[in-house]
Structure 1
Amino acid sequence: MQAADVCTTQKAAEILGISVTSVQQLVEAGVIEAWKTKGGHRRIPLAAVHAYKSNYAQHSQDARAPRPARQSGAMLPASILVIEDNPMERALYQKQITSWGLQVSLRFCENGYQALMEIARDQPDILLADIIMEGIDGYEVIRTILDDPLLADMHIAMLSSLSPEELDARGGVPQGVVFFAKPVNYDELRGYLRACCATHARRGAPA
Structure 2
Amino acid sequence: MTDKTRSYSTTAVAQRLGISTQTVQRWVDTGQLKAWKTLGGHRRIEAEGVELLFRLHGLAVPDADQPSAVPQNDQSEALSILIVDDNPDDRDILAHMVAEAFPAASVAAATNGFHGLIAVGRMAPDVLITDLLMPHMNGFEMLRQLQTGCAVKPRYTLAVSSNTLQDLATKGNLPAGVAFMRKPFEPAVFIDAFRQGVRAALQAQGA
Shorter chain as normaliser: what TM range? Answer: 0.5 to 0.7
Distance 1:202 1:173, change over 3 A: closer
Distance 1:76 1:99, change over 3 A: closer
**d(CA) in 2 for partners of 1:153 and 1:111?**
17
**d(CA) in 2 for partners of 1:155 and 1:142?**
12
Q: Which runs of 4+ in 1 moved over 6 A?
A: none
Q: Give the counterpart letter for 2:112 in structure 1.
A: N
- Please name the residue that 2:177 is paired with: 176
- Please name the residue that 2:119 is paired with: 118
Unaligned runs of at least 5 residues, structure 2: 1-74
**d(CA) in 2 for partners of 1:75 and 1:100?**
13
1:154 aligns with 2:144: no
Tell me the CA shift for residue 139 of structure 1: 0.8
Q: Secondary structure at the match of 2:168?
A: helix
CA contact (8 A) 2:102 2:195 kept: no
Query: Which runs of structure 2 are paired with 1:12-161 in the superposition (5 Å)?
Result: 75=76, 77-148=78-149, 150-152=151-153, 154-161=155-162
Distance 1:108 1:181, change over 3 A: same
Tell me the CA shift for residue 132 of structure 1: 0.9
Q: Secondary structure at the match of 1:150?
A: coil
**d(CA) in 1 for partners of 2:90 and 2:158?**
16
- Please name the residue that 1:189 is paired with: 190
Unaligned runs of at least 5 residues, structure 1: 1-73
Tell me the CA shift for residue 140 of structure 1: 1.0
Q: Give the counterpart letter for 2:167 in structure 1.
A: E
Instruction: Say what the alpha-carbon RMSD is for the aligned residues.
Output: 2.6
Cα offsets for 1:117-154 (capped at 9, x unmatched): 11111111111000111101111111111224734552
**d(CA) in 1 for partners of 2:140 and 2:96?**
25
CA contact (8 A) 1:127 1:157 kept: yes
Q: Give the counterpart letter for 1:104 in structure 2.
A: A
- Please name the residue that 1:167 is paired with: 168
- Please name the residue that 1:30 is paired with: none
Q: Give the counterpart letter for 1:157 in structure 2.
A: L
**d(CA) in 1 for partners of 2:86 and 2:154?**
25
**d(CA) in 2 for partners of 1:96 and 1:131?**
19
Identity of aligned residues (%): 26
Normalised to the residue count of structure 1, the TM-score between the two structures is 0.55
Q: Give the counterpart letter for 2:178 in structure 1.
A: V
Q: Give the counterpart letter for 1:86 in structure 2.
A: N
**d(CA) in 1 for partners of 2:83 and 2:102?**
17
CA contact (8 A) 1:127 1:156 kept: yes
**d(CA) in 1 for partners of 2:140 and 2:199?**
24
